[in-house]
Structures are given as C-alpha cells and as structure tokens.
C-alpha cells in the first residue's frame, strides 16, 4: 500500500506529458472515442465459441508465475479456446504509461491512475451503464465517465484492527471493545494477564503509522466527513472531533505503556511473526495485512479483524477501491478479454485471497471474518467523493499545512510525546496541528 502511494506520487510528472499527448492523438490512433455503448453480446455466446489469444497485464510480479497460472487453468475449464498469457510490470504506472500512446497495451489491464478520468473512453472498452452496474459492483463510480463504466475494482479494501484471538481469550476479554475507552481497557487486560505486547505501533518502520488515518471514517461515523466536511471545517483537530479522538487512542496507549517497550527498534517483518505467535495482541492495519500475518506462522486461525473503536452512533468499515481492471478498446479478441475480466472479478477469489479485501461484486459473500459484523449491523461503505468544485481541496490544505494526514512524521511526534521523549502534551500537539491547518486552509480557500 505504501509502495503504491509512493509510485503514484513519483509518476505525477508523467501526467503532464501524457495529457498533452492525449490532445494530439488522432482518431486513427485510438479508434472511435465517441462509442460509449457496452457490447454485452459475449455473454450470450456458448463459452466454447469464445476464442483467441489475450495478454493480461498485472502489477503482481510476486504471483504472476504461480497464482495467475492457476487462474488461467481454472478459467480454461469454462473457456477452453482462450489462451491467456500474462505480463507483470514491476513499475506498473511507469511502464504502462508510454504504451498508452500506441494500441499495444495488452488486452486486459489495470487503468493507470495517471490517466485523466475524462480521457478514459479513448483507451478502454465500455463495460456497462453506471446506473445499472453500481447496483452490482462496489466502487465502479470512481472511473466512470458520462454515466458509463470502464473498469471494476480488483478488490475493495478496508482498515481496522488486526487482533490475536488467543491473546484476547487469555487476557479475559470476552467481548470485542467497541469504544476508545473499552479498547484501552482491553489493552490493559492484555498487559496485566499475558506476556503479549498489547498494541504494536511499528514506530521503527514508520509507514504502518500512516494506516491509522484510514480509520477516520469509522471514528467519524460518516462517509462524507473526510472529503466533504473536513475541507472547510475550522480547527478539525479540536477535542471531540474525529482526528482528535483517533490519535488520542494512539497517545493514550503509548502513555500508559501499552505498546512495545522500545518503539525505536520495531521491525515490520518480525511483527507479523510475533502477532501470529501470540506475542502481539493488536495492530492498526489495512485488510491487506491479514493474509500476510496469517501466513507468518502456524496460527492463522488466531488472527481476527475488528473495526476501529468509535463513539459514533453507527459503525462503518470504510472501504477503498483498489486498481480497476479493464479491457483495451483496441483488443482483437474483446469477447475473450471481457470473459476473462468477468471471471477474474466474480470467480477467481483474488480480492479476498490475494488482495486481503472484499470482492467488488455485491453477490460474492463477505470474508468469514467480516460476515459476523454485517449481521451485527456494522456497515461497509465507500467514502463519499468531494463536492463538485472541491476536488483535491483537502489534499492541498494538508500538503500546504504540512500536517501530513497520510505521512508518518507527525504520528511519530505523538508517540514520542507520550513516552516522554518530547516535552509536549497531546493537546499541545493538536493545537499546533490546528494552527498550521487553519492558516493554510484560509489561504487555499480564498485563492
């Protein structure tokens, strides 16, 4: 996840060049960009009628020669006359973008985030009408253009707390904590009754601290808070507001000695093994980490996942769409490419088994660790987008103020202050964030 964000930032410069190139492309280069009607006739054909060689381009260099080969074999059980070849790109955005000015960018691929949304129809095959497809798939709104869908998320991820069930049981925690106070109490029970570290911050690695920001929607209890409310909210780090409540949990846990003894020497790879072995009780991480921790030892059955504690009236698991799978509009075997896309989303199991998320298709059951929460009335929702005309406003304020909501630096300050390495109280830290934020927000909004 961290790598993907760094990749996107590192490729922003390509966007300027690419946008210019888009304006210079002729219809003969990219085909008829005005055709926005999806051709769904492939669904009516007998699978054996669908034929052709297709190339699927993926970012998963780690499993392209193993898992993806198994996918091809399973796919061929339904579509025996389609030959699927794979191409994995180490630097997906950087390597695929130069090929977008040609017609040779595979048959099935992932929509590069560097492509301006309005230019998407120039390159990819329409998959259906948004009004219809959003009833079937999560997250298809993100890359839709003029009411037409061009991509489906390969997975939908979420953020919460990974916990060790065996440690919780040994500590005497009979019910999962649902509020911040209950969570701190549970961590104290772990400290008092077990040898496990109650909450591992991974301060030393740094980047795991950025995972906390992904829980802000749960703390707020409002999918519109992050993109629609906060951009124009004065002093968003005041007591009682979502960010204050969120990072107070981090501060309190550290201040009460409920984290690793020496945060400066933590190790991410080692922490996965430790959690699997019952040496760590909790870590705040995205769902992508579940599988990694389960596979880090012999106790996968002990690994559980729960929503971040909140005082909100309703509990929301915030969902985020992964990269979108799509079809090259210039493909010579569109039926085969569309069949692969459909099978990959609905039948491969990739979203849960390889991406640590949930399937974009609503009719695919939730992973077992989440099904129980749905029964309890916990909601799974995508974040509401920014209001029209305010796109990017929050990010700009965050950047100019140097608060760094998705960066690790200020989170480290919280832990350092909590363990006594900085002469600052939590409220003083939040007051500084407010001062920096409000000063830049005023400038950005007035411009």
Question: What is the largest distance, in Å, between two alpha-carbon atoms of the chain?
Answer: 72
Q: What is the CA 232 to chain-centroid distance, rounded?
A: 25
pLDDT for 11 beyond 70: no
Residue with tokens 């985030």: 113
pLDDT above 70 (res 15): no
When pLDDT is averaged across residues 25-45 and rounded to a whole number, the result is 65
Pairing of strands 324-327, 280-286: unpaired
* Domain 158-321+372-447 fold: D-Maltodextrin-Binding Protein; domain 2 (3.40.190)
User: Which pLDDT value is given to residue 17?
Assistant: 38
Task: Report the pLDDT value the prediction gives residue 373, as an integer from 0 to 100.
Answer: 86
Q: What is the mean pLDDT of residues 355-376?
A: 85
* Same-fold call for 2-30+43-153+323-356 versus 158-321+372-447: yes
What CATH topology corresponds to 2-30+43-153+323-356?
Answer: D-Maltodextrin-Binding Protein; domain 2 (3.40.190)
User: For 348-407, where are the alpha helices, taking DSSP H only?
Assistant: 350-353, 368-375, 393-401
Helix (H) or strand (E) holding 284: strand 280-286
Question: Which tens digits make up the pLDDT trace of 221-245?
Answer: 999 999 999 999 999 999 999 999 9
d(CA 410, CA 403): 7
pLDDT band at 8 (very low <50, low <70, confident <90, very high): very low
**Residues with Cβ within 8 Å of residue 73, at least 6 apart in sequence:** none
Q: DSSP string spanning 184-252?
A: HHHHHHHHHH-SSEEE---TTT-GGGGGGGGGHHHHHT-TTIIIIIGGG-SSTTSTTSHHHHHHHHHHH
Mean pLDDT of 373-385: 86
Residue that has been written with the tokens 């009411």 in this structure = 147
Beta bridge partners of 324: 153
Chain centre to alpha carbon of residue 142? 13
The pLDDT, as a whole number, for residue 116 is 84
Structural domain boundaries of the chain? 2-30+43-153+323-356, 158-321+372-447
Q: What value does the mean pLDDT take over residues 34-63?
A: 91
């Amino acid at each position: 996840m961290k790598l993907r964000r760094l990749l996107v930032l590192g490729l922003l410069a390509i966007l300027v060049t690419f946008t210019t190139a888009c304006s210079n492309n002729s219809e003969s280069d990219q085909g008829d960009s005005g055709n926005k009607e999806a051709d769904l006739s492939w669904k009516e054909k007998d699978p054996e009628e669908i034929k052709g060689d297709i190339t699927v381009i993926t970012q998963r260099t780690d499993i392209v020669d193993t898992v993806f080969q198994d996918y091809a074999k399973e796919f061929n059980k339904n579509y025996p006359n389609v030959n699927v070849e794979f191409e994995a790109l180490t630097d997906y955005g950087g390597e695929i973008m130069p090929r977008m000015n040609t017609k040779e960018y595979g048959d099935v691929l992932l929509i590069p985030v560097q492509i301006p949304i309005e230019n998407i129809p120039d390159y990819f095959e329409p998959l259906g009408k948004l009004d219809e497809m959003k009833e079937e798939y999560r997250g298809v709104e993100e890359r839709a253009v003029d009411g037409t869908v061009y991509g489906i998320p390969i997975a939908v991820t979420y953020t919460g707390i990974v916990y060790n069930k065996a440690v919780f049981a040994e500590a005497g925690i009979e019910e999962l904590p649902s509020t911040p106070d209950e969570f701190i109490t549970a961590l104290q029970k772990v400290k008092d009754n077990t040898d496990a570290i109650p909450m591992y911050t991974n301060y030393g690695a740094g980047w795991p601290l950025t995972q906390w920001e992904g829980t802000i929607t749960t703390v707020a209890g409002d999918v519109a808070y992050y993109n629609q409310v906060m951009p124009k909210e004065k002093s968003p780090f005041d007591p009682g507001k979502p960010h204050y409540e969120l990072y107070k949990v981090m501060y309190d846990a550290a201040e009460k000695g409920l984290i690793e003894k020496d945060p400066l020497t933590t190790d991410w790879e080692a922490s996965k093994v430790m959690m699997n072995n019952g040496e760590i009780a909790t870590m705040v991480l995205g769902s992508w980490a579940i599988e990694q921790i389960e596979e880090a030892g012999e106790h996968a059955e002990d690994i559980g996942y729960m929503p971040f504690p909140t005082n909100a009236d309703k509990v929301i698991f915030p969902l985020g769409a992964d990269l979108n799978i799509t079809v090259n509009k210039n493909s010579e075997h569109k039926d085969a490419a569309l069949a692969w896309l459909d099978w990959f989303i609905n039948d491969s199991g990739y979203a849960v088994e390889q991406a640590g998320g949930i399937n974009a298709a609503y009719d695919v059951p939730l992973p077992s660790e989440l099904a129980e929460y749905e029964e309890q009335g916990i909601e799974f929702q995508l974040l509401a987008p920014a209001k029209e005309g305010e796109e990017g406003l929050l990010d700009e304020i965050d950047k100019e103020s140097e608060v760094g909501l998705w960066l690790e630096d200020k989170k480290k300050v919280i832990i350092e202050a909590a363990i006594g390495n900085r002469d600052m109280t939590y409220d003083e830290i939040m007051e500084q964030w407010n001062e920096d934020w409000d000063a830049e927000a005023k400038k950005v909004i007035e411009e």
